Amino acid sequence: MQLRNHPKILLQWPPKRSSSFASTYAGADPLQLPSEIPEAAILRGVKDCPPLSPSNKIQWLTLITDQGEGTERDTARIITTDYPIFHQHLLQTLQVSLGMSLREIGDLKIDF
């Protein structure tokens, strides 16, 4: 299955900018969230982030792209469900995908 369509990845592909993630947890209307990072963006780095709280088991990965100037404009979040093994598999997949576009990453086959 393509990464962009995987059921363990919440929200849509391409991922939203980081500020949209914070707005979601502040109770913002999802229709008012900032735009997606373009699929032509190049992945420059990936960071693992812990759940927000012990009761909230949703995890996410922060993607750093070439679409900004070292600010939140160049980052996006992939939200994953409570499957730590899948989360680690996705992290490893993204770490070896540095230099690829978000379009290419979204097209990757994830057999998990």
Is residue 93 situated within a structural domain? yes
Distance (Å, rounded) from C-alpha 83 to C-alpha 43? 23
The candidate with the shortest Cα–Cα distance to 60, out of 37, 83, 26, 36, is 83
Domain extent for 102: 3-27+39-107
Query: What are the tens digits of pLDDT across the range 26-82?
Result: 444 444 444 678 899 999 999 988 766 667 677 888 888 988 665 555 778 888 877
Residue-level pLDDT at 25 = 42
Q: In 10 A of CB 50, how many CB atoms?
A: 8
Token digits of residue 23:
């707005």
Is residue 72 situated within a structural domain? yes
Is residue 7 situated within a structural domain? yes
Is residue 57 situated within a structural domain? yes
Is residue 33 situated within a structural domain? no
- Which segments within the chain are labelled E, that is strand? 9-10, 43-49, 59-65, 75-80
Is residue 45 situated within a structural domain? yes
